[in-house]
Amino acid sequence: RAPARAAVAGDGSATAAGKSLWEPDLPLTEADPEIAAIVSLEAQRQRKGLELIASENFTSRAVMEAVGSCLTNKYSEGLPGARYYGGNEYIDQSERLCQKRALEAFHLDDAEWGVNVQALSGSPANFAVYTALLNPHDRIMGLDLAHGGHLTHGFYTPSRKVSATSVYFESLPYRLDEATGYIDYDQLERDAMLFRPKLIIAGASAYARNIDYARFREIADKVGAYLLADMAHVSGLVSAGLVNDPFEHCDVVTTTTHKS
């Protein structure tokens, strides 16, 4: 028996025997039962399991409605009011509203702080900062991964450059004082004076102490470095005023929206 012939059209739809396989109003269970089954299994896993991964969270129905809305259909390269494609007037409205709310969440003055909300997660947000402030092979310092840092803060092994950060930039990690569990700021200062980084990253993925951003600022100023705070894991606590505020001392601050 000869197989039915199918072709994929340039707009992503497919045809079989002259009939379109793309039906925009079909629910997922009918349009793609296999994917629908996988989604159902994952929903059950999340509902029944206990997952102790602090950086994960459960998003709300409202968020899923927004990210699954018709907004996803639009190309919106560029910035509000300066897009590459036309038809972005409502995308512009949503992005400007998001920027306004981000500033309000952290009690910031828009005359002092700008905000970009386009990064899809924390890792590309960090890399956007690096490429904006640094040249290839410039030096950075971040908390060592084994001491609670993050892969994007310059981590590498003796045999492998693990992330784009360590591929494009030279990095020297700073570490904790293992007797106290606090960042060893004095050793960080000594290392920074020798290494002369162009950027110092104040932030962590698994650090249970309050970060002394004022001390970081003092060290960064001594070596002429930019100071970046990656507060992704504690941004909710920053907004609520429960931990130190990086905005008082840092040149750039990155975060995500779902961790705390």
Question: Does some domain include residue 29?
Answer: no
For residue 156, the surrounding DSSP H or E stretch is: strand 156-157
Which pLDDT score is estimated for 90?
98
Return left, alpha or beta for 196; rule: phi > 0 is left, psi -120 to 50 is alpha, else beta: left
- Rounded CA-CA distance 5/14 in Å is 10
Q: Which residue(s) pair with 140 in the sheet?
A: 171, 199
Cα 95 from chain centroid (whole Å): 17
Q: Report the C-alpha gap between 106 and 236 in whole angstroms.
A: 9
Q: What pLDDT sits at residue 20?
A: 56
Residue 197: give its domain's CATH number: 3.40.640.10
Task: Establish if 205 belongs to a structural domain.
Answer: yes
Q: pLDDT tens-digit profile of 12-31? A: 555 444 445 567 889 999 99
Torsion over CA of 102, 108, 114 and 116, rounded to 10 degrees?
-20
Contact 33, 211 (CB under 8 A): no
Give me the domain span that covers residue 218: 119-254
pTM over 0.75, yes/no: yes
Residue 148 within a domain:
yes
Greater confidence (159 vs 196) lies with: 196
Is 18 inside any structural domain? no
Domain-embedded: residue 135: yes
In a domain, 233, yes or no: yes
In a domain, 218, yes or no: yes
Q: What is the count of structural domains for the chain?
A: 1
- Ramachandran angles phi, psi of 259, nearest 5°: -85, -50
Question: What is the Cα–Cα distance from 205 to 233, expressed in whole angstroms?
Answer: 6
Tell me, yes or no, whether 112 lies in a domain.
Answer: no
Encoded amino acid at 174, one letter = Y
pLDDT digits (tens, 9 = 90+) for 64-113: 999 999 999 999 999 999 999 999 999 999 999 999 999 999 999 999 99
Q: Give the per-residue pLDDT at 121.
A: 92
